[in-house]
Amino acid sequence: MPDPTETTTLLDPLAPETITLNMGPSHPSTHGVLRLVVELDVEVVKKVVPHVGYLHRGMEKIAESMTYHQFIPYTDRLDYLAPLSNNVAFVLAVEKLIGLEVPPRCRAIRVLCCEIARISAHLLWLGTGALDLGAATVFFHTFRERETLYDLIELITGTRLTTSHPRVGGLARDLPPNLIPELKEFLRRFPAQVDEYEKLLTRNRIWLKRTQDVGKISAEDAIDLGMTGPNLRGSGVEFDLRKAFPYSGYEQYDFEVPVGSVGDAYDRYLVRIEEMRQSARILNQVADHMPEGPINTDDPKVVLPPKQKVLTSMEELIHQFIIVTEGIPAPTGEIYHAIEAPKGELGFYVKSEGEKSPYRLKIRSPSFVSLQGIPLMAEGLMVSDLIAVVASLDPVMGEVDR
């Protein structure tokens, strides 16, 4: 019979006390600087309190003292895994405020940019999400394709990460001639590569065990919590802004909106995999039917004149000077415009008092809203499932904290 006093220093694993664990703000599985304070009963998650704001840069405040064009580079740093779609979302909002139409070629190039961004964002999510759950191989596969996509982005915009490519009323420059052939070459290989990822995961027993019935959320809860994008569609709600409120000419393209059925991490995985295929389908159509013509609107008060003309013609010089120093003329009013970004509904609310800067700019980011669902989805699960829940929501802290 051991002396009972000797064991008092050891913790009884069955004792009802809970421990508090800090996950983050710098933990690899939080995809940035998300901090989760978790109350654990041994390994069962009793309570999760997400803390955000570690990457808050005050973008909305900064916007209030900038011209609309000056703010475009800031949008790169929202969802930094899909900067092109943030840029497009912002310029579409400003164009709506001004009441500006852009030429068909510009619209098609923007769709192309958005879909490339979606595939590359989903590839990153897939690679890192699988890595979080211990499946390291997928990461190397997805990053191989991501590299090709970044090369394409570099061809289009000149940079890989901080693209700032679209402009109010057009684009920074036209597509280089070799882009379409290179894109077609990528699209020829891509479906087989998605099959490869699926071979590694979709029927993999460990993957099924780690994701099925994990982080379940019903359609009603997802709507009540304001979730959008793949996180909403995973719960079986067929809603995609590209179909519901088509922008930039999405109504011309033929694609399907995949939805899940039970709303668990596995469904969200399936939805994103299928979205990559559908994006490739859209890209094929864009590449085959790229309209010819100008990329910028013909409005000298909004679009910068060609450099050659600025150097030789007085009128263009004046326009250039006015646009750069005074910004573009925006009417008094308020608008909200949202696009289907890779993470969900990315919207810009612009309140203008007719000045060169917005009076108030609110960025509605999908990740900010999705993170609110973590407590509901993770409480009662094991701590390792919490990792799967966070990964399946695909948050990016750049757009959460703004």
Partner 1 sequence: MGAEPREVEKIRERFAESLREVVYFRDEDTLVVAPEKILEICRFLKEDPEMDFGMLIDLTGIHYLERDYSYEVVYHLLSLKRKRRLRVRTRLGEEGEIDSVVPVWRTANWHEREAFDLVGIRFRGHPDLRRILMPEDYVGHPLRRDFALEQ
Q: Does 338 bind partner 1 (CB under 8 A)?
A: yes
Distance from the first to the final alpha carbon of the chain: 62
Q: Measured between alpha carbons, how far is 366 from 352 in angstroms, rounded to an integer?
A: 23
Answer whether 319's CB lies under 8 Å from 289's CB: no
Integer CA distances (angstroms), 16 to 7, 13, 42, 46, 381, in order? 17, 9, 9, 12, 17
Smallest gap from residue 271 Cβ to partner 1 (A)? 16
Window contacting partner 1 (CB under 8 A); options: 21-29, 95-103, 185-193, 200-208: 95-103
Smallest gap from residue 60 Cβ to partner 1 (A)? 6
For the chain, the helix, strand and coil percentages under 3-state DSSP, each to the nearest 5? 50, 10, 35
For residue 401, which phi and psi values (nearest 5 degrees)?
A: -90, -25
For residues 274 to 313, the per-residue mask of contacts with partner 1, x marking binding by CB under 8 A and - elsewhere, is ----------------------------------------
Nearer residue to partner 1 within complex by CB, 271 or 371: 371
Torsion of CA 348, 350, 355, 359, to 10 degrees: -110
Extract the tokens encoding 167: 């402009």
Integer CA distances (angstroms), 182 to 116, 178, 185, 237, 287, in order? 13, 6, 5, 35, 10
Q: Does 402 bind partner 1 (CB under 8 A)?
A: yes
> Of residues 98-127, which lie at the interface with partner 1 (CB under 8 A)?
99
Q: Does 334 bind partner 1 (CB under 8 A)?
A: yes
Smallest gap from residue 339 Cβ to partner 1 (A)? 13
Smallest gap from residue 247 Cβ to partner 1 (A)? 12
Smallest gap from residue 73 Cβ to partner 1 (A)? 17
Q: Which of 226, 236, 249, 300 binds partner 1 (CB under 8 A)?
A: 226
β-sheet bridge partners, residue 23? 36
For residues 347 to 376, the per-residue mask of contacts with partner 1, x marking binding by CB under 8 A and - elsewhere, is x-x-x-------xx-x-x---xx-xx----
Integer CA distances (angstroms), 313 to 307, 309, 310, 317, 320, in order? 10, 5, 6, 6, 11
> Of residues 233-252, which lie at the interface with partner 1 (CB under 8 A)?
237, 239, 244-245
Answer whether 396's CB lies under 8 Å from 236's CB: no
> Of residues 8-67, which lie at the interface with partner 1 (CB under 8 A)?
52-53, 56, 58, 60-62, 64-65
Smallest gap from residue 234 Cβ to partner 1 (A)? 15
Residue 144: count other Cβ atoms within 10 Å of its Cβ.
13
Q: Which residues bind partner 1 (CB under 8 A)?
A: 52-53, 56, 58, 60-62, 64-65, 96-97, 99, 223-226, 228, 237, 239, 244-245, 333-336, 338, 345, 347, 349, 351, 359-360, 362, 364, 368-369, 371-372, 401-402
